[in-house]
Amino acid sequence: MGSYKCCICFTRKFRWKEAQPPEDVKAAFTACAEGAGQVGPEQLRRFLVEWQKETDATAADAERIVEQVRQLRQKHVLGRVARPLLNLEDFHHFLFSDELNPPVISQIHQDMKAPLSHYYVYTGHNSYLTGNQLSSDCSDVPIIKALQRGVRVIELDIWPNSSKDNIDVLHGRTLTSPVELIKCLKSIKEYAFAASEYPVIITLEDHLTPDLQAKVAELVTQTFGDMLYYPDCETLEEFPSPESLKRRVILSTKPPKEYLESKSYKNGSLNAKDSNEEEAWGKEIPDFKTEIDESVKSDADLNENDGEDADDSGEDDEDQKLPQNAAPEYKRLITIRAGKPKGHLKDSLKVDPDKVRRLSLSEQELVKAAVSHGAELVRFTQKNLLRIYPKGTRFNSSNYNPFIGWMHGAQMVAFNMQGYGRSLWLMHGFYRANGGCGYVKKPDFLMSTGPHGEVFDPKVKLPVKKTLKVKVYMGDGWRIDFKQTHFDAYSPPDFYTKVGIAGVPADSIMKKTRTIEDDWTPVWSEEFMFPLTVPEIALLRVEVHEYDMSEKDDFGGQTCLPVSELRPGIRAVPLFDRKGNKYNSVKLLMQFEFI
C-alpha cells in the first residue's frame, strides 16, 4: 500500500509533524492582530465580518469563540495562562475546528410553509433491508439509522405473514427474512424526530387483503395516536406544508393489489456484473448521456423487473384508487395517494387542477421521460409529487445519479440508504442543506412557468451565474483516526485531493491536487475555479486518496457540500468514511469564495 519506498524508510516510517498554519492563515492573523501578536474578541469580530463574510457577527459571538478556543487549547497545552486573547496557534486551531468554523450553514433557514411539492424530501428505498435486495435480513435497525441521519421517507413492503393473520415487512419474492410491521412502526415512532421535527412519510408497498389492511389501520392509529395526520376529505387540492406537519407522521400508498404469482430473480442468483459494478468506494457517477445510453441498452430490465418495482413502475388511474372491498378505515388514513402511469406517460403527467397525487417512475423510466417529456415532468412536479426508485437489477443495493431526478423537480429520489458509493455520498451531501432537516426547498426556477408555458430545461446550456473559487490548503487527522501502517507499512502516506462539482451536466467536473509524499499533514495550497450555470442545486465534491504506484489508490475520506450553503472564507471541512460516517479527526482546511 502506498508508493514504493526504499528500506531506509524504516528509520523514519511513522514520523509526523504538528500541522502548521498555511500562509493565508498567517497573513489573516497578522492583519487582524495589527502588530500586537495576539487577537482579542474585537479583532476576531472584524475578521469574521471582513474575511469570513459573517456580516451579522457580534462582539458576543467573538467572545464566545475566544473562550471556547481557550478552553479547548487548555486541554492540550498544560499550564496555559488563561487570557481572553488568541495567538497564531489558537487562531489556526479555531479555523481548523469544524465545530467552531463549519463549512456550511447549520440552521434551518428556508421557508417551510409552502406545500410539500415545493421541497426535495430525503427519501429511502426498501428502508427495512440490512444489505442486498435478495437475501439480507429485514430489520428495524436500518430504519432507525436512516431516521437518525435525517431521512424523512421510510418505505415498508407489507405482506401477510405465513399464517395470514398478521403483517410482515419483507422484500417480496426474495429470500429476505421478515420483520413484524409493528416492530418497524414502534421504532419509527421512537426515532421519527431524532434528527428533524419535520414530518415523516411512510410509503407502504401494500400486498394485503382487506382484512389485513384493516389491521394495518388499527396498528398505525394505535402506535402513532395524535402523531398520525390524515385529511378530512378523500382528495387534496394541494399538499399541506412541512411546517403544518411538524412532528406528524403521514402515510402514502398506491392501490392494494390482488396477489401476484411469485416471480423468481433468475433462480435467485445475484448477477455477477451488477454485484461488481461499484468498486470499493463506488464507480464514478454516470452523466446524463451515459444514463440514456445505458437505459436504451437495458430495456429488458423494465420488462423483467423485480416484483416490488414492477408493481411500482406504473400506477392506475386515480378513480381506480382502491377496490370497493378495501378496508375503509385504511383508505381514509392515506394522505398522499399514489398512482402509476397507465397508457401513455404524457397522459399520466397531466396536472389535475382539483387534486394532487404521487407518481412513481423507475430510474430508467425517468431517463427516458427526461428525454421525451422533460417539460411535462417539471410541470407535474410543481404541484404533484414524483418518486424515483432504483431499477430492479440493483440487487446489491447500489444507487444511481440523483441529479436527473432533482433537475426535473422530482421530490422523492429514493435511495438504498444501506448501500454505498459516490451516488449515496451525493445524497448525504444534498441533505446537509437547510440545517439537515430532510426538506430542501426547490429553487424558484423549477417552480416558475413562463408566459407561454415554458419551464426549466436542464438540457439547455445556460450562461454562467457565478463562479466558485476553492482553495485546498491542507489536511490533518489521519494520524489519529488510522493505524500508522494503514496506508503504507514503511513510510507516511502520499495524499492527494480530488475536488469538483456535481450538478447539471454543464457544471459537473472533477479536478485534483498534486500528491504530497510522505506526510501525515499534507499541505497543498492549490486553487480551483468552478464556473456554475445552476449553482442552486450544485454540490461541491471532495475526496482524499493516498497514491499507490502498484495498486489501487487507498481511500482517505470524502464529503459533499451544497454549494448554495457554503460559508465564504477559510473553513474546516470534516471528512466522512465510505459509508458516510464522520471521522473523529480527519478534516481539510479550505477557502471558499464566490466571484
Mark 199-218 as b/e (b = at least 16 C-beta within 10 Å). Answer: bbbbbbbbbbbbebbbbbbe
User: Cell 411512510 sits at which residue?
Assistant: 202
H or E element in which residue 359 lies: strand 358-362
Contact 130, 139 (CB under 8 A): yes
Q: Give every CB contact of residue 34 below 8 A, 6+ residues apart in sequence.
A: 43
Q: Which of 92, 93, 118, 125 is catalytic?
A: 125
Contact 188, 249 (CB under 8 A): yes
Q: Which of 92, 93, 118, 171 is catalytic?
A: 171
Q: Give every CB contact of residue 485 below 8 A, 6+ residues apart in sequence.
A: none
Q: Give every CB contact of residue 517 below 8 A, 6+ residues apart in sequence.
A: 3, 494
Distance between CA atoms of 418 and 399, rounded to whole angstroms? 10
Please give the full DSSP string across 324-343, using - where no structure is assigned.
TTS-HHHHTTEEEEEE---S
Residue 540 CB-half CA count within 13 A: 31
Strand segments (E) across 66-152: 119-121
Residue 428 bears catalytic tag:
no
Distance between CA atoms of 426 and 431, rounded to whole angstroms? 9
Residue 486 bears catalytic tag:
no
Distance between CA atoms of 587 and 409, rounded to whole angstroms? 33
Q: Tell me the catalytic residues.
A: 125, 171
